[in-house]
Amino acid sequence: MNEKISWKALEYKKKIRTADWYWAVIIIALSIIVISVILHNTLFAILIFISIFSLLIFSFKDPEGIIVNKDMYPFSSLESFWIDITDEKEPKILLKSKKVIMPFIIIPIEEYHHLDIREFLLRYLEEKEMNEPISHKIMDKLGF
């Protein structure tokens, strides 16, 4: 069975970490920070602190997003969505990305009912009316 759309996917494999793992990371980080301060390298100590803080926050985050082909779009990188059903033969999901280079992601709906998709996406994203960019329509007509 070859699925063309994946609605819920793992951004990365969630690993179960014990309290010992967290204590080990914190003790090692604090040791490096203390040694850096003793050696008058406060910039390195700040860098280690920020890095470990980010690592610990990221370790609690559950992986979620949308996969289109092999590209992963985490919900955190998306602003809103709209389901365009003006062409009933080919309904599409329009995702507005926070990225400047690729502001819209357009996904054709083939195997799922658009109301089921809408219900799922409302749990993660804001629904906001938008139209498919003309440039995308032109490229689609030209076969790109």
Q: Is the pLDDT confidence value at 141 over 80? A: no
| Torsion angles phi and psi, residue 140, rounded to 5 | -65, -45
- The torsion defined by the Cα of 42, 48, 51 and 53, in degrees rounded to 10, comes to -90
> 33-37, 48-52, 134-138 — which is least confidently predicted?
134-138
Structure tokens at 50: 């920020």
Task: Give the CA distances from residue 47 to residues 39, 54, 115, in Å, rounded to whole numbers and listed in that order.
Answer: 15, 11, 47
Give Cα 47 distance to the centre of its chain: 25
How far apart CA 27 and CA 34 sit, in angstroms, is 10
Average pLDDT score over the chain: 80
Supply the pLDDT for residue 142: 56
* pLDDT single digits (tens) 84-121: 887 767 788 888 988 877 788 888 887 778 888 888 88
* Span 125-139, average pLDDT: 84
Q: Find tokens 């080990």 and name the residue.
A: 24
Q: Which helix (H) or strand (E) holds 128?
A: none
Q: How confident is the model at residue 1 (pLDDT cuts 50, 70, 90)?
A: very low
pLDDT value, residue 93:
87
Q: What is the pTM of this model?
A: 0.53
What residue type is 25 in one-letter code?
A: V
pLDDT bracket for residue 30 (50, 70, 90): very high
- Looking at residue 131, its amino acid is N
81 pairs with which residues across the strands?
95, 127
Query: How high is the pLDDT of residue 67?
Result: 73
Residues 55-87 pLDDT 10s: 888 777 765 777 777 777 888 888 999 998 877
